[in-house]
Amino acid sequence: MKTLKELADIGTAAAQKVMGDLNNPGRQAFAQAVKDQVLVDANEEIAKLEAVVTKWRERDRTPQLLPLSIAGPVPAECVRYYFYFSNGEWFTDYCESCDVTHFADIRLPAIPHKPTWTLPPPPEGRPLPTTPDPYAELKAAHAAGKVIQSKDEEGWLDDHNPKWLSHGQYRIKPEPVLVPLTIDDIRATDEFRHKESHIVETADHWNCEEVTLSWSDNPSYEVLATHYLRRQHGSTEWKPCIKEAQQ
C-alpha cells in the first residue's frame, strides 16, 4: 500500500492524465467531471484512512511503534504512518521528516473496487466534434521524407525530429535558389573551362561585374553561370559556377 501523501499524488496524477488524454474539445466537460470524481474519490479514501488511524490511536497502540531504523517495505494492505515525540506527546506525520523517530504500519480495511471510467457514447449517435490538426500536411510531408524546418531566434533550421508544439513555427524546407557567383566567391587558385571545351583557364583578375580569364574574353558572372564550369583547388570535380542564395 501507499502512504497517504502518495495516494493523494496518485489521485491528482490520474485526474491530470484524464485531462491530458482527451484533446477533443467536445469531451472536455466529461473530462472535467472525471477529474472532479477522481479527486472526490481520492479525498474519500484519505478520510477513510485517517479514520482508521484515529481509531488505532484511540486504542493506545503507541507501544506498537517501531524505531525508524528498522523500517522496511510497507506490508501489503497497510498504510505507514510516521511518529515523533514532543512535549510529552506522540505526533503523527504523513511522510518521513527530520523529526520522525518511529513508525507504524497500520492494516487497512478492504476497499471496494471502483469501476473504471469510460467515455460515454456520442449523443444521439452523432460523432463528437474534432479539432483539425494544423500540422497534418507537414506531418505527411515529413513521413514522406521531406525535410522539416522549425523557427527560433536564429531563424529557420533543419528539424529532423519536430515536436509539433502548438506555439511552434514549422515549414517544409524550401528548395535551394541558385544564383551566379559573385566577386567574393572567386579565388586565384580556381580553374575554369567552357562547357563545350576542355581548355582549362585561370582567373587573371576579377571585379564586381566580370572575370578576366587567361584565354578567353571577360565573361560576366551571369555568363559564367550559364556557360562555364569551375574546379576549385584540391578538388577533381567540375561544378557549375553557381551557388545557393542566402535565405
Does the CA dihedral 182-183-185-190 come out positive or negative?
A: positive
**Residue 82, Cβ density class (10 Å: 0-12 exposed, 13-18 middle, ≥19 buried):** buried
Q: Which of 201, 204, 207, 214 is nearest to 184 (CA)?
A: 207
Q: Locate all alpha helices (DSSP H) within 22-112, ordered by sequence.
A: 28-58
Task: Tell me: pLDDT of 189 over 90.
Answer: yes
The pLDDT assigned to 67 comes to 86
Q: Please tell me whether residue 216 adopts helix, strand or coil conformation.
A: coil
Q: What share of the chain is helix, strand, coil (3-state, %, to 5)?
A: 30, 25, 45
Which residue did the predictor score with more confidence, 135 or 111? Answer: 135
Query: What backbone phi and psi angles, to 5 degrees, belong to 53?
Result: -65, -40
C-beta separation of 174 from 247 below 8 A: yes
Task: Tell me: pLDDT of 109 over 80.
Answer: no
- Per-residue pLDDT reduced to its tens digit, 128-138: 567 788 899 99
Residue 79: how many CB atoms within 10 A of its CB? 22
Strands 89-93, 78-86: pairing kind = antiparallel
Give the integer Cα–Cα distance in Å for 45 and 36: 14
Query: What torsion do the CA atoms of 106, 110, 115, 117 make, to the nearest 10 degrees?
Result: -10
The pLDDT assigned to 22 comes to 45
The pLDDT assigned to 243 comes to 92
Residue 110: how many CB atoms within 10 A of its CB? 6
- Place 125 in a pLDDT band, splitting at 50, 70 and 90: low
Maximum C-alpha span of the chain: 111
The β-bridge partners of 86 are 89
The pLDDT assigned to 92 comes to 73
Residue 28: how many CB atoms within 10 A of its CB? 12
- Per-residue pLDDT reduced to its tens digit, 23-73: 444 445 545 555 555 555 556 656 665 666 666 555 555 557 788 888 888
Q: Per-residue pLDDT averaged across 224-246, rounded? A: 91
Give the integer Cα–Cα distance in Å for 172 and 146: 7
Lowest mean pLDDT among 44-58, 79-93, 214-228: 44-58
Look up residue 124 and give its three cell numbers: 444521439
Task: Tell me: pLDDT of 164 over 80.
Answer: yes
Q: What is the mean pLDDT of the chain?
A: 76
- Place 141 in a pLDDT band, splitting at 50, 70 and 90: very high
Query: What backbone phi and psi angles, to 5 degrees, belong to 44?
Result: -65, -40
